[in-house]
Amino acid sequence: MSSPLAIAAVTAILKDLLNEGLINNDLSPVGSFTVSALPPDRITTGETEENRLNLFLYQVTPNIGWRNALLPSRDAQGARLTNAPLALDLHYLLTAYGSVDLNAEILLGFAMDLINETPVLTRDMVRRALTPQNPVAVALIPADPQGRTAIDLADQIEALKIVPRFLSADELSKLWTAMQARYRPTVAYQVTTVIIQGARPTRSALPVLSRGQSDRGVATQPSTAAPLPSWPTLIALSIASAGAGRRAAAEMGDTLLLQGVLLEGDAVTAEFRHRLLANPLEIVAAPGPDAGNLRLDLPGAADAAAPDWPAGAYGVALRIARAGKPIRRTNELPLTLAPRLTAPPTLAAAGGQTTLTLAVAPPVWPEQRVDVLVGSDPYQATVAAKTQSVVVPTPGLTPSDAPVPVRLRVDGAENNLVRDRSLQPPQFDPQQSVAVPA
């Protein structure tokens, strides 16, 4: 999600888009011009009026579709349960000024055509406009107290869409009267949706191990079988390691079983894509237990390749090569690579402060968000470099007579507290618990 700097970031991106687009169109017959983001009453008009395009954020409204997401955000005691997003639609006035006849109309026409050709601000456009190498926009938008920057806008779940809003003469008259400025040719645009969300630790209950005695869930019976696809297609991905039991997420050293159709080839390679990796990680697939199945062996925690595998969400696809045939690629299936505590957590007290130390595999990267929950008490950790040891201060830890399960979330991927979900009743792993004395 985006940081509170997102509103300023959108204005900076639009300024950069207009300025670059007008320069690329070579408007030298018009003369020099500027692109600004000022209130209209601060722009000089009259005999000394300059060629200018001005972008003014005149209104901010809530986005109805996201308005109730992740609510309620606090429990009855006031503890934070979620970081509820603040979803906003931004309304802009694009105004053209001219030093001589027709200049304002020329600038406005090119600007409207440019926005019409760019209805969506893609993630690449956001990153390019807000990169630290662009001093025009970034120098005016410093990082916030939580270390978030304007470029976080590129990672929000919603794309930024620009929609023209054709205001009536009455609406325009009221706006310009309120701004106490001289009217110039103006068109309105709406940018949707900016989603601002905090990054504070949240309280979370432990997972439910069982819904009731002999609860087997809902039984269903399919009525018809779906037709087989005509292109190499992955259907399912599961953990196939012997003795691993049934777990919610994979770990380093696991064996994955891919099921699909038309997966045969002279060389079949699995590609693992992660947001922190510029290029996908690759593993050569081996034949599975039967036709239509392939086996992938993830590197173990002690392997030299382990530091190259960040925990978190992956997309897994196959690249299939056949002699004399073009390379084919399958669809992607999601995979969560969970961090694992390789040793029991340790709690130490020094100088009136307690700290929790976790041994982790794979290593945690500095770009990753790290949340630690001791029972239901939330904490947030930061690391400066890749590390297999996470140390987090734990003030206000709730004492317990019994060992308390410790959850480690790295980019949303949580360690497997339940090592084998096929056991009845399910049990928390005692090696991932810590004693919290009073």
pLDDT tens-digit readout, 39-62: 999 999 988 899 999 999 999 999
CB 287 within 8 A of CB 255: no
Band of pLDDT at residue 1, cut at 50, 70 and 90 = low
Contact 260, 275 (CB under 8 A): no
Q: What are the tens digits of pLDDT across the range 111-166?
A: 999 999 999 999 888 888 887 766 555 556 777 776 777 888 888 888 999 999 99
pLDDT at position 271 is 96
Select from 180, 214, 330, 353 the least CA-distant residue to 270: 330
Percent of the chain predicted with pLDDT > 70: 92
Beta-bridge partner residues of 329: 319
> Hey, is 427 helix, strand or coil?
coil
- Supply the pLDDT for residue 370: 95
- The secondary structure of 124-163 as a DSSP string is HHHHHHHSTT-HHHHTTSPPPTTS--GGGGGGSSSPEEEE
The band of 225, judged by pLDDT with boundaries at 50, 70 and 90, is low
List the domains of the chain with CATH numbers.
6-196 (no CATH), 233-337 (2.60.40.10), 340-434 (2.60.40)
Residues 396 and 357: beta-carbon distance below 8 Å: no
Confirm whether pTM is higher than 0.75: no
Give long-range contacts, CB 8 A cutoff, 24+ apart: 112-119.
Answer: 112/164, 112/187, 114/17, 114/18, 114/21, 114/22, 115/17, 115/18, 115/162, 115/164, 115/189, 116/164, 118/17, 118/21, 118/162, 119/161, 119/162, 119/163
Q: How far apart are CA 97 and CA 172, in angstroms?
A: 16
**pLDDT the model gives residue 206:** 84
Pairing of strands 267-273, 281-284: antiparallel
Confidence class of residue 83 from pLDDT cuts 50, 70 and 90? confident
pLDDT of residue 67: 84
pLDDT one-digit tens code per residue, 24-35 = 888 878 888 999
Mean pLDDT (whole number) for 299-304: 90
Specify the pLDDT at position 411. Answer: 93
